[in-house]
Each structure stands twice: as C-alpha cells, then as structure tokens.
Structure 1
Amino acid sequence: MKALIKPNEYFQKSTYEEEKSKLFSQIWNFVGFISDFNQVNDFVVSNVSGTPVVVQNLKGTIRAFKNVCSHRHSIIQTTQKGNRPLMCPYHGWAYNEKGIPFGIPKKPLFSFTNEELECLKLEEYEIEVCGSLVFVRTTKNKISLKDFLGNFYPEIEKMSTNFGKLIDVNEIEIKANWKIIVENTLESYHVALIHSETFQKLGAQGLDFVFDKNNSLWDAPVLVKENEGKQAKIYKPYQKRDYKIDGYKHLIVFPNILISSTYGISFNLSHIIPVSEGISLFKSYVFVTKKDDEDKNEIIEKMFEDSLIHFNRKVFDEDKVICQEVQKGVQYSNYDGQLSDEERRVGYFQEKYKQYIPEVL
C-alpha cells in the first residue's frame, strides 16, 4: 500500500506548525508519572503544542497551568522538574491551588480588587490519569482520556501500575522529524539489518496486530520462554508479579508515546517530543516490575538491570542513526513510499494522523 504522509510533511515548517495547532493541542499529552508528584509542590514542566505548561502537586491535587506569570510574563517554574511553590522568580508573585495570585510583594501599591485578582488567574488545563501515567490536554473537548485510549485503557492501566523500579532515563536529541521516529518503532521490518546484534536476538516476530481508536498494539512471541535456561534464575524474584505476558508487547498511545514490555518483567516507555520540523527529543524510561523481596539477590539483579540499560540504549542509538539518514533522504524523495503487511501499524498511524492534518500545505 502507498504511504499517506508525503515526504515534504517530514521537513516542512508549515506542517510542523499545523501539527502544534491541530494535533497536539487537541489530544491527551503525556507529561509524567504519578511518582513525579508525590510531595506537595512537586512539579514537572512540559511543552505541549508549543505552550509552556507546569504540572504541579498543589495542596495534594495535581493541577496543570500555563507556565507564564500573569504579572510581567516570566516563566514561573524554570527547571525541568523539582519542588518549590508556584511562585514567579522575577518579582515573587505566588499562586494558589486555583492559579490565582495570593502572595504579591508590596500588594497595596497595586490596589487590586478581588475580582481583578481572579482575572489574573493562570490559564488552567485538563488533567487525567491512567494507571501511573499523567496526561494533559490544552484544548477542551468531549473526549475523555478513557475514550481516547479506547480498548487499550485497561492494558495501559495495568502495565503502568506495574512499573516498579526506574532503572534508566535516557534522553537523545535526534536530527529527524518526530513522525519518522514514531514510524520506525511501529515496524519490525528493519530489525534484521539495523538491530542484528540487539533486538533481533529477542526473536519477537509475527503480525499479531490490534487496532483501536488512534492506537495500535503488537503482541509477539519470543525465542526463549521466561523460565528457560539461564533466564529462570534471573527472573525468579519476579514470579509473584501482577502483570504477566508470554513474550513481547508493544503499543502506541497516539501519536508519540510507545510502551513495551518483555514478559511483563521489564518495561520501556518512550516519549518522542517534537522540537522542530527536523529535530526531536527522544526520552526513554526503563523500569523493572515490582518484585518479591524475599527472593533477593543483589548481584544478579544488578547484572540484569545493567543488561537492560545497555540493551535499550544500544537499540535506540541504532535507531537514531537510521532515522537521521531517513530525514536526509525525504528532502530529496519523489516517491510517496510503500508499506508492506509488516508495516500495517505505520499505515494505521498515518491514517489517523491525516484525520488531524488532512492537507499538505
């Protein structure tokens, strides 16, 4: 089948601007994990559809606001994450849990009425949670997060609830359009050449795809069963886990979140963040599932965790190289692109993408 996204849509600035206003502003955007907001005043900042957003635990409730002070327009929370009051670093304006200024230095010099203060409320955005994942939407519409995730909601909820120890956070700048990176993760056709010494050895295979709403899932058997050979000893501490699968599972939360697991023991969540039409930030989080501490072997666990980190980083470094080559090539291509049965998830992603961005400008 022919690809639906044209080559110029991977490098055209006007397409990137359309995506910010017509795609990312309309959908639920992943911004962090529940664990990021355990303490009052814990915060994470994000850029959602070109808008600076702060998500913060305010008096025990997670709220999301535009991260711009209503006094003189400074960014309020200036680091990626942390713990501090919702207070502007420029003149010290502090905001309450509703986003209304309540602590203003030299307040009598302003002569504000209560109504005027409420008009200076920070713009607030919707927050919803699935399992341990926190999502924000900057434009109101009737589609709840549960509707957006569709039939995959229970699966995502169960997977993310079983994220245990976070063993690695890997950030890579990739000189490629975000869609090229997403599409690369949605097919295994490239695995034999690009990942011959890494992912290929897992032996994930088959065309067992499930499609629902904007999202898709790949369920794949692997070469070695969980409790065969050397793996039996490595995986022994994880036998009482709640989430168990036979092989490898990979799903996309449209348009740019990828969640995968092997056996339900190791998990990866990858967030592909557009920086510009030709640059993306790839953020990868690697977890191991919650385990039985009665069967603890620190040496084996450390070896297992180190091998997971090395495996994931190597795979993503391999993907970075080829995605950057694709980015170079699309700028000169006269072809629409062709998709095989093994690339059906790419075609489905493109079909859903075109519902938001129907025209090439």
Structure 2
Amino acid sequence: MPPALDAEAFATEQNALGQVWTLLGWTRDVAREGDWFTAHLGGRSVFVQRFREGLRAFENKCAHRFFPLRQGEAGNGPVICGFHHWRYNSDGMAIGIPKSEEMFGATPRDMGICLRPVEIEICGSLIFGRFASAGHTESLRAFLGPLFDIVRAMSPDGIAPLRGASVLPFNWRFAYEIALDDYHIVAVHSDTFGKRGYMLRDRVQYERSGPHSAYCAARVPDLLEGIAAACNAGTYRPSNDYLIMHLFPNIALVQTHVATVMGVRYVYLMLLQFVPLAPDTTQLRWWLWPSPFPTGDTPLQRVFRRISMPISLPLTRRGMLRILAEDNAVCAHLQAHARPDDGSPRLGAMEERIGWHNEAYRQVLEQAQRDAVRE
C-alpha cells in the first residue's frame, strides 16, 4: 500500500525521512536565550531551543510519560514538562525530578535519563535537523552540495520574510511532485505560467545534484555550480529567468523576477515546505522575501523601491498563493481518487525531475531498511 493510503507505510516512510537533513525553521525565531519553536521531523514533533550553550533540538516528548514538552508553535522558557514537572537541561538530561529518590529510588543524575536528540546544522538563516542514523552521517554542506552556498547567500541574517501556513487534505508527495512538474502549466495555470503554451524541453535547463534538482527557464550549463561560485565570490545577480531549486526531501526554493518598473527590478525569493502530517494531510509552510543581492539601483530608484515595496510584496504574495491554490485543487483530486493498484506513473520529458526525486526517495527507504537489519 502506498503511504498516501496506508498509515503503516506512511510511518515507515517518515521514519526513513526523519534521518535526512530537513528544514526545521529559522534562526530569527530563536534569537534570544530561552526561545523555542516546534516543527515536524520524520512524522514526529520536535522542538528547537536556544540555550546559553547554543542551539539544541530534541524530540518533543518527555522521557517520563511521553507528554509533549512544548505545546504551541513557539515560546520562551526552560524545558519543564507540564505533566509532572520534570526539568531538562541543554543536553536534554533530566536534572530536576520531583521527589526523585522517593519515587524512583535514585537521584536524577544517577537515573541518567535524556531526551532523544535531534542533530542540527545551520545554512544561512535556516535550521536543518535529522535524527541520528548509521546510514546518514554526511554534513549538511555535503548533503546540499552547491545548494549549500546558494541557500546561505539567499537567506542571510537579518531578513524578515512574510510567512504563512495551511493544512491541506492530501499526501505531501502529491504536493511536492506537482512542484516538480512543468507539463501541467497549460491545463492548470492557463492565466499565468501557461499563457504562452507548453515549454520546450530543449530551451530550459534541468539539473540534478545528488538527491536535489533545479529548473531554470533558460539554458545555463553547470547551473548550480555557477550560481554557487558567484555567490561565494559576491558577484551573483539574479537574472530575469525563473529559477526553482528542489531540496530533498520536501523544500522548493523559488527565485522569480515579477516586474520591472521605472527601471527597478523586483526579484523575490519564495521558500515552500511540504510537511507530512498524516497519509492524507500535509502542512504547507511558506516564506517570501525580496532578493538580498545588490540591485544596482540609482539613488532615485532606491527611493522608489522603498516606497513601492509595501505594494509589490503583497501583490507577489497574492500571485504565489493563487498558483498554489490551483495546484492544491489538483492534489486534492489525486488524493480522493488514489487507489492501491494505481501502479507507476508514466512520466514525460517535462516531468523528468519527478523521476529523479522518486529515485532518491527509494534510496532513502532502502538505506533505512539496511540500517534496521544491522541494528
């Protein structure tokens, strides 16, 4: 049974994907000591918190009776369980257990009880995490390859993106795969992307980088390596060509030139994450912010940009949400009509990146099976 229809298959899938570097959130959301936020990783609730010693992350579950330590999306304060007041330190160790010796016959130190840790690394303003496993030991930089330098440059400290989230009634892979599909634009986005008809495969750039991929609306050899090198050299300037980068397992990073007015080019970045919640439920998280790269504006153009930004940013948001709503309607139909005997899809040239993603997905599941056998 596919994970879109079966809870057991979904749990197996999520256990495997929880061992892969996955976006948890933004550093700006844990700027002060004690700040925390919750996220989902591998089908489990986790929380990221800033301690005096630095950022740490743990599964959001007390080691005593498995009560959620953090309730809600974000907050500030020490790690104290609301069920029995067990208290944990920055290493996830239970250091405060009420009446410990009377109730358990030992001190908290002697008991040595710890929360399940989440490994975390930072790229730009983004915090990634994973559960430790024997089959996935590479650093975040190694995992992302050239995308590490690109993401770092596109999400520098200090940006304050617009953000939103919604819960959608379909499996996360339907949502992610439609974002990898450039064949549907005429049928689904006839007033926007599909206005000019079907794209020609030989006029666009598809590129694969490990489990990740990218699309550019122009032929650009060595696309990702070239952008990464320019970012590192401080010479990267966005073109007018639409660019979308898919970071395995569930992120899409879009760079889009939306308009040029009075010589001012408006380029925005959109980060989408399709978070699996259940076989038939996905949380879509999105962030939108102006490109942080130098614009070359004249003094007059800088003034015009500053005045017009409160207009252009909401308009860009509205356009993005409209396109997502059109995609979501398709995904809801796919979920409603999914059946166990559907078989494998027939992918065309403009759906090639779906095949790449599915291959990486299968490799992660197979690695998890090998790890389970070794354990």
What TM-score results when the alignment is normalised by the length of structure 1? 0.82
Q: Contact 1:204–1:221 at 8 Å: present in 2 too? A: no
Q: Which residue of 1 aligns with 2:117?
A: 124
Q: Which residue of 1 aligns with 2:224?
A: none
Looking at structure 2, the residues matched to 112 and 243 of structure 1 have their Cα atoms a distance apart, in angstroms, of 59
Q: Which residue of 2 aligns with 1:227?
A: none
Q: Which residue of 2 aligns with 1:142?
A: 137
Distance 1:216 1:242, change over 3 A: same
Looking at structure 2, the residues matched to 304 and 86 of structure 1 have their Cα atoms a distance apart, in angstroms, of 41
Q: Which residue of 2 aligns with 1:309?
A: 317
Task: Give the aligned residue type for 1:128.
Answer: E
Distance 1:304 1:202, change over 3 A: farther
Task: Give the aligned residue type for 2:120.
Answer: I
* Count of aligned pairs: 332
1:283 to 282, 285, 288: 285
| Counterpart mapping for 1:193-272 below 5 A | 193-200=187-194, 206-221=203-218, 243-246=236-239, 247-263=241-257, 265-272=267-274
Looking at structure 1, the residues matched to 6 and 235 of structure 2 have their Cα atoms a distance apart, in angstroms, of 45
Q: CA deviation at 1:154?
A: 1.5
Q: Contact 2:95–2:108 at 8 Å: present in 1 too? A: no
Q: Contact 1:252–1:259 at 8 Å: present in 2 too? A: yes
Distance 1:199 1:130, change over 3 A: same
Looking at structure 1, the residues matched to 282 and 33 of structure 2 have their Cα atoms a distance apart, in angstroms, of 32
Looking at structure 2, the residues matched to 244 and 251 of structure 1 have their Cα atoms a distance apart, in angstroms, of 16
Looking at structure 2, the residues matched to 204 and 115 of structure 1 have their Cα atoms a distance apart, in angstroms, of 65
Looking at structure 2, the residues matched to 277 and 326 of structure 1 have their Cα atoms a distance apart, in angstroms, of 13
Q: Which residue of 2 aligns with 1:236?
A: none
Q: Tell whether 2:181 aligns with 1:187.
A: yes
Q: CA deviation at 1:165?
A: 3.1
Q: CA deviation at 1:31?
A: 0.4
Looking at structure 1, the residues matched to 251 and 5 of structure 2 have their Cα atoms a distance apart, in angstroms, of 21
Q: Superposition RMSD on alpha carbons, in Å?
A: 2.9
* Percent of residue pairs bearing the same amino acid type: 25
Looking at structure 2, the residues matched to 106 and 143 of structure 1 have their Cα atoms a distance apart, in angstroms, of 42
Q: Indicate the SS of the match to 2:161.
A: strand
Task: Give the aligned residue type for 1:152.
Answer: L
Task: Give the aligned residue type for 1:80.
Answer: E
Q: Contact 2:95–2:109 at 8 Å: present in 1 too? A: no
Q: CA deviation at 1:114?
A: 5.6
Q: Which residue of 1 aligns with 2:225?
A: none
Looking at structure 2, the residues matched to 261 and 202 of structure 1 have their Cα atoms a distance apart, in angstroms, of 20
Q: CA deviation at 1:221?
A: 4.2
Q: Indicate the SS of the match to 1:265.
A: strand
Structure 2: unaligned runs, 5 residues or longer: 220-233, 258-265, 368-375
Q: Which residue of 2 aligns with 1:354?
A: 362
Deviations, residues 34-69 of structure 1 (Å, cap 9, x unaligned): 111111111111222132211100115110112222
Task: Give the aligned residue type for 2:280.
Answer: G
Q: Contact 1:158–1:243 at 8 Å: present in 2 too? A: no
Looking at structure 1, the residues matched to 271 and 115 of structure 2 have their Cα atoms a distance apart, in angstroms, of 31
| Counterpart mapping for 1:1-361 below 5 A | 8=2, 10-21=4-15, 23-105=16-98, 109=102, 112-113=106-107, 115-117=109-111, 119-140=112-133, 141-161=136-156, 164-167=159-162, 169-200=163-194, 206-221=203-218, 243-246=236-239, 247-263=241-257, 265-290=267-292, 295-297=302-304, 298-331=306-339, 334=342, 336-357=344-365
Distance 1:201 1:62, change over 3 A: farther
Q: Contact 2:175–2:331 at 8 Å: present in 1 too? A: yes
Looking at structure 2, the residues matched to 248 and 148 of structure 1 have their Cα atoms a distance apart, in angstroms, of 24
Distance 1:19 1:299, change over 3 A: same
